[in-house]
Structure 1
Protein backbone atom coordinates (compact mmCIF):
# COMPACT_ATOMS: atom_id res chain seq x y z
CA UNK A 1 0.00 0.00 0.00
CA UNK A 2 1.31 3.45 -0.89
CA UNK A 3 1.99 6.13 1.69
CA UNK A 4 -0.85 8.20 0.20
CA UNK A 5 -3.37 5.41 0.67
CA UNK A 6 -2.23 4.83 4.24
CA UNK A 7 -2.61 8.52 5.09
CA UNK A 8 -6.10 8.65 3.59
CA UNK A 9 -7.46 6.76 6.60
CA UNK A 10 -6.27 9.14 9.35
CA UNK A 11 -6.51 12.82 10.20
CA UNK A 12 -3.43 15.03 9.81
CA UNK A 13 -1.13 14.94 12.85
CA UNK A 14 -1.09 17.98 15.13
CA UNK A 15 2.46 18.97 14.13
CA UNK A 16 1.41 19.07 10.45
CA UNK A 17 -1.59 21.26 11.24
CA UNK A 18 0.65 23.56 13.25
CA UNK A 19 3.37 23.68 10.57
CA UNK A 20 0.87 24.99 8.03
CA UNK A 21 -0.47 27.55 10.50
CA UNK A 22 -3.96 26.10 10.63
CA UNK A 23 -6.49 25.96 13.46
CA UNK A 24 -6.01 23.22 16.02
CA UNK A 25 -9.73 22.41 16.14
CA UNK A 26 -11.38 19.39 14.54
CA UNK A 27 -11.12 19.42 10.74
CA UNK A 28 -14.02 18.88 8.37
CA UNK A 29 -13.38 15.62 6.46
CA UNK A 30 -14.05 15.75 2.73
CA UNK A 31 -13.98 12.97 0.13
CA UNK A 32 -10.77 11.16 -0.73
CA UNK A 33 -8.95 11.59 2.60
CA UNK A 34 -8.99 15.40 2.40
CA UNK A 35 -9.47 17.54 5.53
CA UNK A 36 -10.65 21.13 5.47
CA UNK A 37 -9.46 23.81 7.88
CA UNK A 38 -11.31 26.98 6.97
CA UNK A 39 -10.10 28.02 3.51
CA UNK A 40 -7.27 25.47 3.44
CA UNK A 41 -7.35 21.71 2.86
CA UNK A 42 -4.78 19.12 3.89
CA UNK A 43 -4.32 15.92 1.89
CA UNK A 44 -1.82 13.13 1.48
CA UNK A 45 1.02 14.26 -0.76
CA UNK A 46 1.81 10.90 -2.34
CA UNK A 47 5.06 10.89 -4.29
CA UNK A 48 7.10 13.88 -3.01
CA UNK A 49 8.75 14.69 -6.35
CA UNK A 50 5.45 14.86 -8.20
CA UNK A 51 3.61 16.68 -5.41
CA UNK A 52 6.38 19.25 -5.09
CA UNK A 53 6.41 19.79 -8.85
CA UNK A 54 2.63 20.25 -8.92
CA UNK A 55 2.78 22.76 -6.07
CA UNK A 56 5.46 24.84 -7.80
CA UNK A 57 3.45 24.91 -11.03
CA UNK A 58 0.12 25.72 -9.37
CA UNK A 59 1.69 28.53 -7.38
CA UNK A 60 1.82 30.74 -10.49
CA UNK A 61 -0.32 28.89 -13.07
CA UNK A 62 -3.04 31.09 -14.57
CA UNK A 63 -5.10 29.11 -17.10
CA UNK A 64 -7.90 31.09 -18.73
CA UNK A 65 -11.29 30.40 -17.17
CA UNK A 66 -10.04 28.32 -14.23
CA UNK A 67 -9.96 28.48 -10.45
CA UNK A 68 -6.68 26.99 -9.21
CA UNK A 69 -5.91 25.34 -5.87
CA UNK A 70 -2.82 27.27 -4.77
CA UNK A 71 -0.27 25.56 -2.54
CA UNK A 72 0.04 26.78 1.04
CA UNK A 73 3.61 26.71 2.31
CA UNK A 74 4.55 25.63 5.80
CA UNK A 75 6.06 28.07 8.30
CA UNK A 76 9.54 27.15 7.04
CA UNK A 77 8.59 27.44 3.36
CA UNK A 78 8.05 23.76 2.51
CA UNK A 79 5.22 22.38 0.39
CA UNK A 80 5.14 18.98 2.11
CA UNK A 81 5.32 18.12 5.81
CA UNK A 82 5.45 14.47 6.93
CA UNK A 83 3.69 13.34 3.77
CA UNK A 84 0.96 16.01 3.86
CA UNK A 85 0.38 18.99 1.57
CA UNK A 86 -1.80 22.07 2.03
CA UNK A 87 -3.78 23.89 -0.66
CA UNK A 88 -6.39 26.59 -0.84
CA UNK A 89 -9.90 25.15 -0.86
CA UNK A 90 -11.64 25.24 -4.25
CA UNK A 91 -15.38 24.77 -3.99
CA UNK A 92 -16.86 22.06 -6.19
CA UNK A 93 -16.92 18.35 -6.91
CA UNK A 94 -16.23 15.97 -9.76
CA UNK A 95 -19.25 15.97 -12.07
CA UNK A 96 -20.12 14.27 -15.39
CA UNK A 97 -19.94 17.52 -17.35
CA UNK A 98 -17.71 15.86 -19.90
CA UNK A 99 -17.85 18.26 -22.84
CA UNK A 100 -17.12 21.16 -20.49
CA UNK A 101 -14.24 19.14 -19.06
CA UNK A 102 -12.79 18.44 -22.49
CA UNK A 103 -13.00 22.14 -23.39
CA UNK A 104 -11.41 23.05 -20.06
CA UNK A 105 -8.54 20.61 -20.68
CA UNK A 106 -7.72 22.41 -23.93
CA UNK A 107 -7.40 25.73 -22.08
CA UNK A 108 -5.38 24.10 -19.32
CA UNK A 109 -2.91 22.57 -21.75
CA UNK A 110 -2.45 25.92 -23.43
CA UNK A 111 -1.39 27.29 -20.05
CA UNK A 112 1.02 24.37 -19.48
CA UNK A 113 2.77 24.79 -22.83
CA UNK A 114 6.36 25.93 -22.42
CA UNK A 115 7.03 24.16 -19.12
CA UNK A 116 10.17 22.04 -19.02
CA UNK A 117 9.87 18.26 -18.93
CA UNK A 118 9.90 17.12 -15.27
CA UNK A 119 13.02 15.14 -14.44
CA UNK A 120 11.06 12.30 -12.82
CA UNK A 121 9.52 11.52 -16.23
CA UNK A 122 12.97 10.74 -17.63
CA UNK A 123 15.12 7.67 -17.13
CA UNK A 124 14.61 4.09 -15.90
CA UNK A 125 12.26 3.00 -13.14
CA UNK A 126 12.89 0.55 -10.31
CA UNK A 127 11.31 -2.89 -10.08
CA UNK A 128 9.00 -3.71 -8.39
CA UNK A 129 7.10 -0.66 -9.52
CA UNK A 130 5.86 1.97 -7.11
CA UNK A 131 2.30 3.16 -7.74
CA UNK A 132 3.46 6.34 -9.49
CA UNK A 133 5.90 4.36 -11.66
CA UNK A 134 3.11 2.05 -12.87
CA UNK A 135 1.66 5.02 -14.76
CA UNK A 136 5.03 6.06 -16.14
CA UNK A 137 5.76 2.57 -17.50
CA UNK A 138 2.21 2.21 -18.86
CA UNK A 139 2.62 5.51 -20.69
CA UNK A 140 5.83 4.31 -22.31
CA UNK A 141 4.26 0.99 -23.29
CA UNK A 142 1.50 2.81 -25.18
CA UNK A 143 4.01 4.70 -27.35
CA UNK A 144 7.11 2.55 -27.78
CA UNK A 145 7.48 0.36 -30.91
CA UNK A 146 7.92 -2.74 -28.72
CA UNK A 147 5.51 -2.52 -25.79
CA UNK A 148 6.32 -6.06 -24.66
CA UNK A 149 9.49 -5.00 -22.88
CA UNK A 150 7.41 -2.75 -20.64
CA UNK A 151 4.63 -5.26 -20.09
CA UNK A 152 6.87 -8.30 -19.60
CA UNK A 153 6.50 -7.88 -15.83
CA UNK A 154 2.75 -7.35 -15.98
CA UNK A 155 2.20 -10.00 -13.30
CA UNK A 156 3.21 -7.36 -10.77
CA UNK A 157 1.69 -9.08 -7.74
CA UNK A 158 3.69 -10.81 -4.96
CA UNK A 159 3.67 -14.59 -5.42
CA UNK A 160 1.68 -14.49 -8.64
CA UNK A 161 3.38 -16.00 -11.68
CA UNK A 162 0.66 -15.65 -14.31
CA UNK A 163 -1.98 -13.11 -15.23
CA UNK A 164 -5.51 -13.51 -13.93
CA UNK A 165 -8.14 -14.35 -16.53
CA UNK A 166 -9.45 -10.78 -16.67
CA UNK A 167 -5.88 -9.54 -17.18
CA UNK A 168 -5.44 -11.93 -20.10
CA UNK A 169 -8.54 -10.41 -21.70
CA UNK A 170 -7.15 -6.89 -21.29
CA UNK A 171 -3.79 -7.99 -22.69
CA UNK A 172 -5.63 -9.36 -25.74
CA UNK A 173 -7.28 -5.95 -26.21
CA UNK A 174 -3.90 -4.22 -25.95
CA UNK A 175 -2.33 -6.55 -28.51
CA UNK A 176 -5.24 -6.11 -30.92
CA UNK A 177 -5.07 -2.31 -30.77
CA UNK A 178 -1.29 -1.85 -30.92
CA UNK A 179 -0.98 -2.54 -34.69
CA UNK A 180 -3.52 0.23 -35.34
CA UNK A 181 -1.08 2.89 -34.17
CA UNK A 182 0.15 5.31 -36.82
CA UNK A 183 2.86 7.98 -36.53
CA UNK A 184 1.86 11.30 -34.99
CA UNK A 185 3.69 14.57 -35.49
CA UNK A 186 2.23 16.80 -32.78
CA UNK A 187 4.96 18.14 -30.45
CA UNK A 188 5.25 17.00 -26.85
CA UNK A 189 4.68 19.29 -23.90
CA UNK A 190 3.62 18.96 -20.27
CA UNK A 191 0.04 17.73 -20.15
CA UNK A 192 -2.29 16.92 -17.27
CA UNK A 193 -3.05 13.20 -17.10
CA UNK A 194 -5.92 13.10 -14.59
CA UNK A 195 -8.42 15.84 -15.40
CA UNK A 196 -11.41 13.61 -14.66
CA UNK A 197 -10.50 13.28 -10.97
CA UNK A 198 -8.86 16.64 -10.30
CA UNK A 199 -11.07 19.17 -12.07
CA UNK A 200 -14.21 20.13 -10.15
CA UNK A 201 -17.37 22.05 -11.02
CA UNK A 202 -19.56 24.25 -8.85
CA UNK A 203 -22.68 25.69 -10.46
CA UNK A 204 -21.81 28.30 -13.08
CA UNK A 205 -18.37 29.05 -11.61
CA UNK A 206 -15.25 28.41 -13.64
CA UNK A 207 -13.95 24.85 -13.29
CA UNK A 208 -11.41 24.35 -10.53
CA UNK A 209 -8.16 22.41 -10.92
CA UNK A 210 -6.94 20.76 -7.72
CA UNK A 211 -3.73 19.16 -8.95
CA UNK A 212 -1.55 18.62 -12.01
CA UNK A 213 -0.41 15.08 -12.86
CA UNK A 214 2.24 15.60 -15.55
CA UNK A 215 3.06 13.61 -18.66
CA UNK A 216 5.23 14.58 -21.63
CA UNK A 217 2.92 14.07 -24.60
CA UNK A 218 1.07 16.10 -27.26
CA UNK A 219 -1.51 18.46 -25.79
CA UNK A 220 -4.34 16.69 -27.61
CA UNK A 221 -3.28 13.40 -25.98
CA UNK A 222 -4.18 14.94 -22.63
CA UNK A 223 -7.57 15.98 -23.99
CA UNK A 224 -8.12 12.57 -25.60
CA UNK A 225 -7.35 10.98 -22.23
CA UNK A 226 -10.23 12.98 -20.74
CA UNK A 227 -12.51 11.42 -23.36
CA UNK A 228 -11.21 7.89 -22.71
CA UNK A 229 -11.54 8.30 -18.93
CA UNK A 230 -15.07 9.64 -19.35
CA UNK A 231 -15.97 6.54 -21.36
CA UNK A 232 -14.32 4.17 -18.89
CA UNK A 233 -15.26 5.70 -15.55
CA UNK A 234 -18.10 8.07 -16.31
CA UNK A 235 -20.26 5.96 -18.64
CA UNK A 236 -20.12 8.89 -21.06
CA UNK A 237 -22.18 9.12 -24.21
CA UNK A 238 -20.44 7.01 -26.91
CA UNK A 239 -20.86 10.01 -29.22
CA UNK A 240 -18.50 12.08 -27.04
CA UNK A 241 -15.36 11.31 -29.12
CA UNK A 242 -17.08 12.37 -32.31
CA UNK A 243 -17.70 15.84 -30.93
CA UNK A 244 -13.93 16.36 -30.54
CA UNK A 245 -12.63 14.41 -33.54
CA UNK A 246 -11.73 17.67 -35.29
CA UNK A 247 -8.76 18.18 -32.94
CA UNK A 248 -5.34 17.51 -34.53
CA UNK A 249 -4.58 13.77 -34.78
CA UNK A 250 -7.37 13.08 -32.30
CA UNK A 251 -8.20 9.46 -33.28
CA UNK A 252 -4.57 8.33 -33.00
CA UNK A 253 -4.01 10.20 -29.75
CA UNK A 254 -7.23 8.75 -28.34
CA UNK A 255 -5.97 5.30 -29.31
CA UNK A 256 -2.76 5.91 -27.39
CA UNK A 257 -4.70 7.22 -24.40
CA UNK A 258 -6.73 4.02 -24.38
CA UNK A 259 -3.60 1.86 -24.71
CA UNK A 260 -2.20 3.76 -21.73
CA UNK A 261 -5.22 2.91 -19.58
CA UNK A 262 -5.11 -0.73 -20.72
CA UNK A 263 -1.43 -0.90 -19.76
CA UNK A 264 -2.15 0.62 -16.36
CA UNK A 265 -4.68 -2.15 -15.79
CA UNK A 266 -2.11 -4.78 -16.74
CA UNK A 267 0.56 -3.37 -14.43
CA UNK A 268 -1.43 -2.23 -11.42
CA UNK A 269 -1.61 -4.69 -8.50
CA UNK A 270 -5.13 -3.58 -7.56
CA UNK A 271 -6.70 -3.89 -11.02
CA UNK A 272 -10.07 -5.63 -10.94
CA UNK A 273 -12.29 -7.55 -13.31
CA UNK A 274 -14.87 -4.74 -13.17
CA UNK A 275 -12.27 -2.26 -14.42
CA UNK A 276 -11.38 -4.60 -17.28
CA UNK A 277 -15.03 -4.72 -18.33
CA UNK A 278 -15.23 -0.92 -18.34
CA UNK A 279 -12.11 -0.76 -20.48
CA UNK A 280 -13.69 -3.21 -22.90
CA UNK A 281 -16.60 -0.83 -23.42
CA UNK A 282 -14.20 2.00 -24.23
CA UNK A 283 -12.30 -0.24 -26.67
CA UNK A 284 -15.50 -0.80 -28.64
CA UNK A 285 -16.21 2.92 -28.84
CA UNK A 286 -12.67 3.99 -29.74
CA UNK A 287 -12.28 1.34 -32.47
CA UNK A 288 -15.30 2.79 -34.23
CA UNK A 289 -13.39 6.07 -34.70
CA UNK A 290 -10.18 4.57 -36.11
Structure 2
Protein backbone atom coordinates (compact mmCIF):
# COMPACT_ATOMS: atom_id res chain seq x y z
CA UNK A 1 0.00 0.00 0.00
CA UNK A 2 1.22 3.50 -0.77
CA UNK A 3 2.11 5.42 2.34
CA UNK A 4 0.33 8.47 0.92
CA UNK A 5 -3.07 6.75 0.82
CA UNK A 6 -5.21 5.25 3.52
CA UNK A 7 -7.87 2.69 2.67
CA UNK A 8 -11.17 1.98 4.34
CA UNK A 9 -9.81 -1.49 5.06
CA UNK A 10 -7.11 -0.06 7.34
CA UNK A 11 -9.63 2.09 9.21
CA UNK A 12 -11.87 -0.91 9.68
CA UNK A 13 -8.97 -3.06 10.87
CA UNK A 14 -8.33 -0.62 13.73
CA UNK A 15 -12.04 -0.30 14.50
CA UNK A 16 -12.24 3.32 13.31
CA UNK A 17 -15.53 4.61 11.90
CA UNK A 18 -14.69 8.33 11.65
CA UNK A 19 -13.54 9.78 8.31
CA UNK A 20 -9.79 10.30 7.91
CA UNK A 21 -8.11 13.52 6.80
CA UNK A 22 -4.47 14.46 6.29
CA UNK A 23 -2.68 15.67 9.41
CA UNK A 24 -0.22 18.55 9.21
CA UNK A 25 3.38 17.53 9.92
CA UNK A 26 4.61 13.95 10.09
CA UNK A 27 6.16 14.30 6.59
CA UNK A 28 2.55 14.87 5.39
CA UNK A 29 2.00 11.12 5.52
CA UNK A 30 -0.19 10.88 8.64
CA UNK A 31 -3.96 11.00 8.95
CA UNK A 32 -6.35 11.85 11.76
CA UNK A 33 -9.71 10.12 12.16
CA UNK A 34 -11.70 11.32 15.14
CA UNK A 35 -9.26 11.15 18.05
CA UNK A 36 -6.93 8.64 16.36
CA UNK A 37 -3.74 9.40 14.43
CA UNK A 38 -2.75 6.88 11.77
CA UNK A 39 0.90 6.72 10.78
CA UNK A 40 2.68 4.71 8.10
CA UNK A 41 5.24 2.24 9.36
CA UNK A 42 8.73 2.39 7.90
CA UNK A 43 9.58 -1.01 9.35
CA UNK A 44 6.85 -3.24 10.74
CA UNK A 45 8.94 -5.23 13.23
CA UNK A 46 10.25 -2.02 14.76
CA UNK A 47 6.80 -0.40 14.80
CA UNK A 48 5.32 -3.41 16.58
CA UNK A 49 8.16 -3.38 19.12
CA UNK A 50 7.81 0.36 19.78
CA UNK A 51 4.04 0.11 20.27
CA UNK A 52 4.47 -2.73 22.77
CA UNK A 53 7.19 -0.78 24.58
CA UNK A 54 4.96 2.29 24.90
CA UNK A 55 2.11 0.09 26.17
CA UNK A 56 4.45 -1.18 28.89
CA UNK A 57 5.63 2.36 29.62
CA UNK A 58 2.05 3.60 30.08
CA UNK A 59 1.46 0.86 32.64
CA UNK A 60 4.60 1.95 34.49
CA UNK A 61 3.86 5.68 34.55
CA UNK A 62 2.88 7.06 37.97
CA UNK A 63 -0.19 9.26 38.31
CA UNK A 64 2.14 12.17 39.10
CA UNK A 65 4.06 11.77 35.84
CA UNK A 66 5.51 14.88 34.21
CA UNK A 67 4.50 13.84 30.69
CA UNK A 68 2.10 11.71 28.72
CA UNK A 69 2.50 9.41 25.74
CA UNK A 70 -0.06 8.47 23.14
CA UNK A 71 -1.81 5.13 23.51
CA UNK A 72 -0.96 2.64 20.76
CA UNK A 73 -4.20 1.21 19.38
CA UNK A 74 -4.19 -2.49 18.56
CA UNK A 75 -5.83 -4.12 15.58
CA UNK A 76 -9.45 -4.82 16.42
CA UNK A 77 -9.08 -8.56 15.83
CA UNK A 78 -5.87 -8.98 17.87
CA UNK A 79 -5.08 -6.94 20.97
CA UNK A 80 -1.39 -7.85 20.65
CA UNK A 81 -0.96 -6.62 17.07
CA UNK A 82 -0.25 -2.93 16.47
CA UNK A 83 0.58 -2.87 12.74
CA UNK A 84 -1.80 -3.55 9.87
CA UNK A 85 -0.69 -3.43 6.24
CA UNK A 86 2.01 -0.89 6.97
CA UNK A 87 -0.05 1.35 9.27
CA UNK A 88 -0.14 2.03 13.01
CA UNK A 89 -2.76 3.87 15.05
CA UNK A 90 -2.25 6.08 18.12
CA UNK A 91 -4.45 8.20 20.33
CA UNK A 92 -4.25 11.90 19.49
CA UNK A 93 -2.44 14.22 21.89
CA UNK A 94 -3.19 17.97 21.99
CA UNK A 95 -0.57 20.69 21.82
CA UNK A 96 2.17 22.18 19.69
CA UNK A 97 5.96 22.07 19.57
CA UNK A 98 7.41 24.22 22.32
CA UNK A 99 11.02 25.08 21.44
CA UNK A 100 10.32 28.82 21.42
CA UNK A 101 9.63 29.17 25.14
CA UNK A 102 9.79 25.77 26.84
CA UNK A 103 13.48 24.85 26.93
CA UNK A 104 13.61 24.09 30.65
CA UNK A 105 10.39 22.07 30.35
CA UNK A 106 11.73 20.10 27.38
CA UNK A 107 14.86 19.14 29.34
CA UNK A 108 12.77 18.23 32.40
CA UNK A 109 10.33 16.10 30.40
CA UNK A 110 13.18 14.36 28.58
CA UNK A 111 14.82 13.48 31.88
CA UNK A 112 11.56 12.07 33.29
CA UNK A 113 10.84 10.11 30.12
CA UNK A 114 14.29 8.55 30.06
CA UNK A 115 14.18 7.69 33.75
CA UNK A 116 11.04 5.70 33.03
CA UNK A 117 12.59 4.03 30.00
CA UNK A 118 15.49 2.97 32.21
CA UNK A 119 13.04 1.46 34.69
CA UNK A 120 11.70 -0.82 31.95
CA UNK A 121 15.21 -2.29 31.72
CA UNK A 122 14.80 -3.55 28.17
CA UNK A 123 17.79 -4.99 26.27
CA UNK A 124 19.12 -3.26 23.18
CA UNK A 125 16.74 -4.08 20.31
CA UNK A 126 18.30 -5.60 17.21
CA UNK A 127 16.76 -3.07 14.81
CA UNK A 128 18.91 -0.23 16.19
CA UNK A 129 22.02 -1.72 14.61
CA UNK A 130 20.20 -2.90 11.50
CA UNK A 131 18.43 0.18 10.15
CA UNK A 132 20.81 2.31 8.12
CA UNK A 133 19.31 5.67 7.27
CA UNK A 134 21.25 8.93 7.26
CA UNK A 135 20.72 9.56 10.97
CA UNK A 136 21.79 6.07 12.01
CA UNK A 137 24.84 6.17 9.75
CA UNK A 138 25.83 9.56 11.19
CA UNK A 139 25.28 8.22 14.72
CA UNK A 140 27.67 5.32 14.09
CA UNK A 141 30.30 7.68 12.66
CA UNK A 142 29.92 10.09 15.57
CA UNK A 143 30.43 7.33 18.13
CA UNK A 144 33.43 5.84 16.29
CA UNK A 145 31.55 2.68 15.39
CA UNK A 146 31.91 3.24 11.65
CA UNK A 147 34.28 5.23 9.47
CA UNK A 148 32.80 7.94 7.27
CA UNK A 149 34.66 6.36 4.33
CA UNK A 150 32.46 3.27 4.80
CA UNK A 151 29.25 5.26 4.42
CA UNK A 152 27.71 5.45 0.92
CA UNK A 153 26.28 8.65 -0.57
CA UNK A 154 28.42 11.21 1.27
CA UNK A 155 28.24 14.75 -0.10
CA UNK A 156 31.63 16.42 -0.52
CA UNK A 157 29.82 19.74 -0.86
CA UNK A 158 28.21 19.41 2.58
CA UNK A 159 31.42 18.13 4.16
CA UNK A 160 33.20 21.19 2.83
CA UNK A 161 30.51 23.52 4.16
CA UNK A 162 30.73 22.01 7.65
CA UNK A 163 34.50 21.52 7.59
CA UNK A 164 35.21 24.19 10.23
CA UNK A 165 32.68 23.12 12.90
CA UNK A 166 33.37 19.43 12.29
CA UNK A 167 37.10 19.96 12.71
CA UNK A 168 36.56 22.09 15.80
CA UNK A 169 34.18 19.60 17.40
CA UNK A 170 36.54 16.71 16.61
CA UNK A 171 39.33 18.56 18.40
CA UNK A 172 37.08 19.07 21.45
CA UNK A 173 36.06 15.42 21.56
CA UNK A 174 37.51 13.32 24.39
CA UNK A 175 36.76 9.78 25.56
CA UNK A 176 33.88 9.46 27.98
CA UNK A 177 34.70 8.21 31.48
CA UNK A 178 34.41 4.47 31.97
CA UNK A 179 31.14 3.23 33.37
CA UNK A 180 28.82 5.49 31.35
CA UNK A 181 25.75 3.34 30.72
CA UNK A 182 23.80 3.32 27.48
CA UNK A 183 20.05 2.74 27.26
CA UNK A 184 17.13 3.43 24.97
CA UNK A 185 16.82 7.13 24.20
CA UNK A 186 14.48 9.20 22.07
CA UNK A 187 16.98 10.58 19.57
CA UNK A 188 14.80 13.42 18.25
CA UNK A 189 12.86 14.65 21.25
CA UNK A 190 13.43 18.40 20.69
CA UNK A 191 10.48 18.96 18.37
CA UNK A 192 8.49 15.96 19.54
CA UNK A 193 7.20 17.22 22.86
CA UNK A 194 3.79 18.87 22.58
CA UNK A 195 2.70 21.63 24.96
CA UNK A 196 -0.90 22.77 25.36
CA UNK A 197 -0.61 26.11 27.12
CA UNK A 198 -4.38 26.65 27.12
CA UNK A 199 -5.48 23.47 28.90
CA UNK A 200 -2.14 23.01 30.70
CA UNK A 201 -2.38 19.27 30.15
CA UNK A 202 0.76 17.21 30.60
CA UNK A 203 3.33 17.61 27.81
CA UNK A 204 3.03 14.84 25.26
CA UNK A 205 6.04 12.88 23.97
CA UNK A 206 5.48 11.68 20.40
CA UNK A 207 7.19 10.12 17.37
CA UNK A 208 9.68 7.86 19.14
CA UNK A 209 12.98 7.44 17.30
CA UNK A 210 15.11 5.20 19.46
CA UNK A 211 18.87 4.95 19.77
CA UNK A 212 21.10 3.17 22.29
CA UNK A 213 23.16 5.90 23.97
CA UNK A 214 23.65 7.49 27.43
CA UNK A 215 20.40 8.98 28.73
CA UNK A 216 21.77 12.53 28.91
CA UNK A 217 22.66 12.37 25.23
CA UNK A 218 18.96 12.94 24.48
CA UNK A 219 19.14 16.30 26.29
CA UNK A 220 22.43 17.08 24.54
CA UNK A 221 20.60 16.76 21.22
CA UNK A 222 17.94 19.16 22.52
CA UNK A 223 20.66 21.68 23.36
CA UNK A 224 22.37 21.18 19.99
CA UNK A 225 19.09 21.91 18.22
CA UNK A 226 18.50 24.97 20.37
CA UNK A 227 21.93 26.37 19.57
CA UNK A 228 21.84 25.64 15.85
CA UNK A 229 18.21 26.29 14.91
CA UNK A 230 16.57 28.42 17.59
CA UNK A 231 19.05 31.14 18.44
CA UNK A 232 19.89 29.84 21.90
CA UNK A 233 23.27 30.49 23.51
CA UNK A 234 25.40 29.79 26.51
CA UNK A 235 22.42 29.97 28.87
CA UNK A 236 20.86 26.81 27.42
CA UNK A 237 24.14 24.93 27.79
CA UNK A 238 24.37 26.03 31.43
CA UNK A 239 20.76 24.95 31.99
CA UNK A 240 21.67 21.53 30.61
CA UNK A 241 24.92 21.28 32.58
CA UNK A 242 28.60 21.93 32.01
CA UNK A 243 30.22 18.96 33.74
CA UNK A 244 32.70 16.96 31.68
CA UNK A 245 30.29 14.20 30.68
CA UNK A 246 27.50 16.51 29.54
CA UNK A 247 29.90 18.71 27.60
CA UNK A 248 31.32 15.68 25.81
CA UNK A 249 27.82 14.44 25.00
CA UNK A 250 27.01 17.88 23.58
CA UNK A 251 30.16 17.76 21.44
CA UNK A 252 28.90 14.49 19.99
CA UNK A 253 25.34 15.77 19.53
CA UNK A 254 26.52 18.77 17.52
CA UNK A 255 28.89 16.60 15.48
CA UNK A 256 26.06 14.15 14.76
CA UNK A 257 23.69 16.86 13.58
CA UNK A 258 26.38 18.31 11.30
CA UNK A 259 27.37 15.00 9.76
CA UNK A 260 23.78 14.06 8.92
CA UNK A 261 23.80 16.88 6.36
CA UNK A 262 26.58 15.12 4.46
CA UNK A 263 24.96 11.68 4.23
CA UNK A 264 22.35 10.81 1.58
CA UNK A 265 21.81 14.55 1.15
CA UNK A 266 18.85 16.22 -0.50
CA UNK A 267 21.11 18.91 -1.95
CA UNK A 268 18.27 21.14 -3.14
CA UNK A 269 16.80 21.24 0.38
CA UNK A 270 20.20 21.62 2.02
CA UNK A 271 21.23 24.51 -0.23
CA UNK A 272 17.94 26.27 0.49
CA UNK A 273 18.14 25.88 4.28
CA UNK A 274 21.82 25.59 5.13
CA UNK A 275 22.14 29.28 5.98
CA UNK A 276 19.57 28.77 8.76
CA UNK A 277 21.78 26.23 10.53
CA UNK A 278 24.01 27.88 13.12
CA UNK A 279 26.46 25.06 13.75
CA UNK A 280 29.52 27.23 13.20
CA UNK A 281 28.40 29.57 16.00
CA UNK A 282 27.32 26.67 18.21
CA UNK A 283 30.78 25.12 18.00
CA UNK A 284 32.36 28.45 18.97
CA UNK A 285 30.06 28.85 21.98
CA UNK A 286 30.92 25.36 23.16
CA UNK A 287 34.65 25.93 22.61
CA UNK A 288 34.47 29.09 24.76
CA UNK A 289 32.79 27.15 27.58
CA UNK A 290 35.39 24.39 27.43
Alpha-carbon shift at residue 98 of structure 1 (Å): 1.5
Residue from 156, 160, 185 that aligns with 1:163: 156
In the TM superposition, what are the counterparts of 1:55-66 in structure 2 within 5 Å? 55-62=51-58, 63=61, 64-66=65-67
1:86 correspondence with 2:78: no
Residue from 113, 116, 121 that aligns with 1:111: 116
Secondary structure of 1:284's match?
helix
In the TM superposition, what are the counterparts of 1:74-223 in structure 2 within 5 Å? 74-77=75-78, 78-96=81-99, 97-113=102-118, 114-122=121-129, 133-144=133-144, 150-152=147-149, 156=153, 163-164=156-157, 166-185=158-177, 186-203=180-197, 204-223=200-219
RMSD value, Cα: 2.5
Range 110-119 or range 167-176, more displaced:
167-176
Alpha-carbon shift at residue 266 of structure 1 (Å): 1.4
Cα 1:248–1:17, aligned 2, differ >3 Å: closer, same or farther? farther
In the TM superposition, what are the counterparts of 1:4-43 in structure 2 within 5 Å? 7=3, 10-27=4-21, 29-32=23-26, 33=28, 34-43=30-39
Q: Which structure 2 residue ranges, 5 or more long, are not aligned?
A: none
Cα 1:205–1:25, aligned 2, differ >3 Å: closer, same or farther? closer
Secondary structure of 1:200's match?
strand
Aligned to 2:74: 73
Distance 2:150 2:168 in 1: 19
User: When the two structures are superposed, what TM-score results if normalisation uses the length of structure 1?
Assistant: 0.83
Distance 1:71 1:248 in 2: 38
User: When the two structures are superposed, what TM-score results if normalisation uses the length of structure 2?
Assistant: 0.83
Deviation string, structure 1 residues 82-106 (Cα, Å, up to 9, x no partner): 2221001111111221221011111
Aligned to 1:288: 288
Cα 1:187–1:227, aligned 2, differ >3 Å: closer, same or farther? same
Distance 1:245 1:121 in 2: 28
Cα 1:26–1:54, aligned 2, differ >3 Å: closer, same or farther? closer
Q: Which structure 1 residue ranges, 5 or more long, are not aligned?
A: none
Count of residue pairs the alignment pairs up: 269
Deviation string, structure 1 residues 101-136 (Cα, Å, up to 9, x no partner): 0111111110111221111123xx5xxxx7x53222
